[in-house]
Structure 1
Amino acid sequence: MSSPIVTVILPAKDAGPYIGTTVTTLGRQFEDPGRLRLVVIDDGSTDDTRAQVQHFARDMPHVEIISNPQPIGLAAARNQGLDLVDTDFFCFVDGDDWMHPERLESLVESMRRLECDFVRTDHVTDTDGRRRLMRAPHGRRGRVVSPRDAIMPADETTMVDYPYAWAGMFHRRVLDRGLAHFEPGLFTAEDRPWIWRLHLRAESFAVVDAPAILYRRGVTTSLTQVLDRRQLDFLPAFAEAIRVVEEDDDADRFLPKIATTTMSVCAYHLFRARAMSTADRTALRTGIRDLLRAIPAEQIDPALSRLSDRRRRILARLVREVRTA
């Protein structure tokens, strides 16, 4: 039996309708399926997620399934998988997404050729069969660069605005340096402090072309589709991201970017708040006030000026309230 060279971490909760496709495509990543190790975290599913994995992974020689009696959230579930990585390379996939054949083989080849800490790729969204290519926001392809050099400028979409953990592959040394784990307890936005820590502290990365990973949008059980109190996890997530930046030796360089991104996301959630309950909407506004206070005061006005007119108007009242409190 061949030894695995890449560990795939697959957290899933109630993914029974989709996970068969995910696992089937993982079986097509290498000519020798023994080169892949699959770690599945069944995070408190109440459907047949585990049975579906067992059925569709029956011909894969290296599969481990962890079952959590109660859901602990995507961040903590991914961390469970990270603690079991024993290969040179690892990556993530979610239970409602899937890959084109030989994607992972292509990424392993890129990692070996470029000898960098991690690689990132484009992805394809699938919304009821309508597909759209989403390009990683970085102009240099196939070239190793410093992750810090892909953070700025503050007024453009950059790689820290592309936080999708599953859109790439990582060398084990990223894990050994403590850069791969997620903030436990976060049910949404867990990838925001994670992507900042990665780009500030890893040494090298590249954006590469590879067979596609497809991200299924519009899944009703996805937390991006559920407007309840769990959406408010973006507040501690961005507070942690701000803290990560402030601890950096070059914080002054990067604070304009994290301030702008934070305020833009706050405006986005305020716009969506009309569909929330009154209690959740009140908690959201209180949390945003606290988050705005975490941003250095001198960064507020420049960050506001970088936002669209609509997002600036949405945030204006809360900014005034913070300043006059």
Structure 2
Amino acid sequence: MTLSVIVAMCDVREFCRTALKSLALNARQDFEFIVVDDCSVDGTSEILREMVPRIPGAVLIRNERNLGISATRNIGLAAARGRFFTFLDGDDWYAPGYLAQLVGWMSESGVDFLRTGHVRVYGRKRKIVMAPLAPRALPLDPADYIGPVDASTFMDYPQSWAGVYDRERLREADALFFDESLRTAEDRPWFYKLHLRMRSFGVVDLHGVFYRRDVSTSLTKVPDERQLDFLPAFRMIFDELSHHPRGYELSFKAMRTLCALIVIHLGREEQYEELTRDLLRERGAQILFDLPQDILEGTLAGMDSARVTKLRELMSQHQGAAAR
């Protein structure tokens, strides 16, 4: 088996037929499609039972209870048999023939993993999104492309479905599975593990994944505590960096991203439930206090004054609350 595609499905009745049809248009004798239904309750399950048996190489697994995206992907990974693997979310889809191109590039390059671009979908609008700046189709050292601090890099492009991965090499490096405690932001520590533990990767300008950004049920839109999983995700990232020879140097990129994300969430906190807003401020300040202060201060020195002011106000408010 050359390729395993892990397809996580949960309450995507409106979109899953398109995703499944795109699998059928990419089917090949040496491809398998592992569709994992995370206990859908909106009618998705009935569509999957109808359509999946008709797709060559497709199998259907149903979770008896809702486990979340990380555990659902891990179930698919545990069942995978392919030399390579990739992902598809249930509300996205592939262009016809995309997977054959992807596998062709991966086989030719010989790298541990390969990153691609994608097509961002807003209703009827389409926008091509390029993978971050890097030499194309060459074996690269993954650690070299975590930074630079002040540029958009692969750490700012944490979409696991925009790539393909060598299953055995990731398994050997203990980098195959996602942390199941994360309900969102699961891709961020996973990619840090890949860039810190793997030997090589490559980049190609393939744009055959269509990614919907206008889905009301997306976890990026939920107003509850799940929005805050980026904070424990970054604790995992800093722990991973602490074990790498270049960890101190590369930690500045992680800190810059963390600070930027905290500010972004503060800017939209009125959309969250009251408890989530309180937890955002409490946990956001706490992680900034807990992480190395020289890295934090070095990061703040390079950021614009508006964001620095918000972060320092957050930390000051937390200190004041703790003192009372």
TM-score normalized by structure 2? Answer: 0.94
The answer to whether structure 1 residue 146 and structure 2 residue 141 are counterparts is yes
The structural deviation recorded for 1:322 is 6.0
Once structures 1 and 2 are overlaid, which stretch shifts more, 148-157 or 168-177?
A: 168-177
Contact 1:40 1:81 in 2 (8 A): yes
Once structures 1 and 2 are overlaid, which stretch shifts more, 150-159 or 169-178?
A: 169-178
The answer to whether structure 1 residue 167 and structure 2 residue 162 are counterparts is yes
Aligned-pair RMSD on alpha carbons? 1.6
- 2:268 match: secondary structure: helix
The match for 1:193 is 189
The structural deviation recorded for 1:51 is 2.4
Contact 1:144 1:205 in 2 (8 A): yes
Once structures 1 and 2 are overlaid, which stretch shifts more, 172-181 or 129-138?
A: 172-181
Gaps of 5+ in 2: none
The match for 1:25 is 22
Equivalent-residue separation in structure 2 for 1:248 and 1:48 (angstroms): 46
Contact 2:224 2:272 in 1 (8 A): yes
The answer to whether structure 1 residue 277 and structure 2 residue 260 are counterparts is no
The structural deviation recorded for 1:239 is 1.1
The match for 1:6 is 3
The answer to whether structure 1 residue 101 and structure 2 residue 96 are counterparts is yes
The answer to whether structure 1 residue 306 and structure 2 residue 307 are counterparts is no
The match for 1:49 is 44
The match for 2:33 is 38
Question: Aligned match of 2:113 in 111, 118, 124?
Answer: 118
Once structures 1 and 2 are overlaid, which stretch shifts more, 268-277 or 113-122?
A: 268-277
The structural deviation recorded for 1:249 is 1.9
The answer to whether structure 1 residue 214 and structure 2 residue 210 are counterparts is yes
The match for 1:83 is 78
Gaps of 5+ in 1: none
Deviations 1:212-234 (A, max 9, x none): 20100121111101121111111
The structural deviation recorded for 1:42 is 0.7
Contact 2:36 2:76 in 1 (8 A): yes
Counterpart of 2:20, as a letter, is: V
Equivalent-residue separation in structure 2 for 1:63 and 1:104 (angstroms): 14
The match for 2:63 is 68
Deviations 1:17-57 (A, max 9, x none): 10110111111124xx3222111111121022222223333
Contact 1:267 1:312 in 2 (8 A): no
Counterpart of 2:135, as a letter, is: R
The match for 2:54 is 59
Deviations 1:296-322 (A, max 9, x none): 100112212333443323212123356
Equivalent-residue separation in structure 2 for 1:220 and 1:264 (angstroms): 24
- 2:283 match: secondary structure: helix
Identical aligned residues as a percent: 34
Equivalent-residue separation in structure 1 for 2:138 and 2:118 (angstroms): 19
